[in-house]
A and B are shown apart, each in its own frame.
Chain A
Amino acid sequence: MYKVKVYVTLKEGVLDPQGKAIQQSLRSLSYQEVEEVRVGKYIELFVEQHEQLEERINKMCDELLANPVIEEYQYEIEEAVR
């Protein structure tokens, strides 16, 4: 069994209204040093061993987990005991 940690983030240049709102709240808490906030998604997949593991994870990301028009993704695979 593997645990796949998928991180989906908005592409550079795509406006992130949620990130902007969070940055403003941090500023109101006087964290002036925060220049930008970008919000993404973190998705955990627990996957059985598979010959084409990486290939299939890439496909899952391309087909559903991330929208290539506005988002990009990266992932880490680690062994997991369940």
Chain B
Amino acid sequence: MKFAVIVFPGSNCDRDMLYAITDALQEEAHFVWHSESDLSSYDAILLPGGFSYGDYLRSGAMSSTSPIMRAVKEEAGKGKPVLGVCNGFQILLEAGLLPGAMLANENLSFICRNIPVRVEQNDTLFTNAFDQKEDIILPIAHGDGNYYCDDATYQSLVEHDQIVFTYPSNPNGSVHDIAGICNEQGNVLGMMPHPERAVEALLGSTDGLKIFQSILTNWREAHVLNT
């Protein structure tokens, strides 16, 4: 399976993401610079964390206008898996691929630590290696991780089973403890916690690897013929 890791000016989790795929998952991954405009040769798209454009104006706002985002929208429309982590999640929100917006953490501090994250939906292509309502350990590292949406949007998220991850103990003030959401079709996921930093025991948790394994399993079921 071939993964694209999109690199924006200021991405700083791009290498972690690439190594998660090549070292831990043992699949193919390539960096793609944000000024590129074609992603048709990739099977999945990863938007890494970082501080694209220095978080100027709003986190993810500038990146959402990059040429590559047109290609991301196009491939997302074809049903390809698109995963945005941290700043990648913020970019997906700003680009309108996911509903809602990100505010500064409620306590205004940058938070960087391992925390429990609850799997609210294990029937997505990103989470089927987990148990429903399983609590996993993932690192968070963000200043603007306070997810916000209005009541109507929240109702719609609930109705369509789009809330994929929540915080059992809310670190940043996110509305309804939301840590990660997917689109209605289920092929675009945005999450604040960093699964790519939890892919081997040495890092303190291997729970993040299951997200990438879920993507791979799902892709193999759809694309590799049984012989």
Give Cα distance in the complex from A64 to B63, angstroms. Answer: 11
**A15 and B57: CB pair below 8 A?**
no
Q: Find the A residue at minimum CB distance from B101.
A: A69
Q: A69-B101, A70-B101 are in contact. Are A15 and B61 (CB under 8 A)?
A: no
List B contacts of A67 (CB < 8 A): 58, 61, 94, 101
Q: Does B65 lie at the interface of the complex (its beta carbon under 8 Å from any beta carbon of A)?
A: yes
**A15 and B149: CB pair below 8 A?**
no
Give the shortest distance, in Å, between B75 (CB) and chain A (any CB).
22
List B contacts of A63 (CB < 8 A): 65
Q: Find the B residue at minimum CB distance from A10.
A: B103
Interface residues in A, total, Cβ within 8 A: 12
Q: Does A57 lie at the interface of the complex (its beta carbon under 8 Å from any beta carbon of B)?
A: no
Q: Does B146 lie at the interface of the complex (its beta carbon under 8 Å from any beta carbon of A)?
A: yes
Q: Find the B residue at minimum CB distance from A66.
A: B58
Chain B at the A interface: SS class: loop
List B contacts of A64 (CB < 8 A): 57, 61, 65
Residues facing A in B127-151 (CB within 8 A) are 146, 148-150
Q: Find the B residue at minimum CB distance from A21.
A: B108
**A70 and B148: CB pair below 8 A?**
yes
Q: Does B107 lie at the interface of the complex (its beta carbon under 8 Å from any beta carbon of A)?
A: yes
Q: Does A29 lie at the interface of the complex (its beta carbon under 8 Å from any beta carbon of B)?
A: no
Give Cα distance in the complex from A69 to B61, angstroms. Answer: 13
**A17 and B146: CB pair below 8 A?**
yes
Q: Find the A residue at minimum CB distance from B105.
A: A17
Q: Does A81 lie at the interface of the complex (its beta carbon under 8 Å from any beta carbon of B)?
A: no
Residues facing A in B2-37 (CB within 8 A) are none
**A17 and B61: CB pair below 8 A?**
no
List A contacts of B100 (CB < 8 A): 69
**B103 and A70: CB pair below 8 A?**
yes
Give Cα distance in the complex from A67 to B61, angstroms. Answer: 9
**A18 and B104: CB pair below 8 A?**
yes
Give Cα distance in the complex from A15 to B93, angstroms. Answer: 18
List A contacts of B65 (CB < 8 A): 63-64
Give Cα distance in the complex from A52 to B172, angstroms. Answer: 42
Residues of B within 8 A of A (CB): 57-58, 61, 65, 93-94, 99-101, 103-108, 146, 148-150, 173
Contact sample, A vs B, 11 pairs, CB 8 Å cutoff: A15-B103, A15-B173, A17-B104, A67-B58, A67-B61, A67-B94, A69-B99, A69-B101, A69-B150, A70-B101, A70-B103
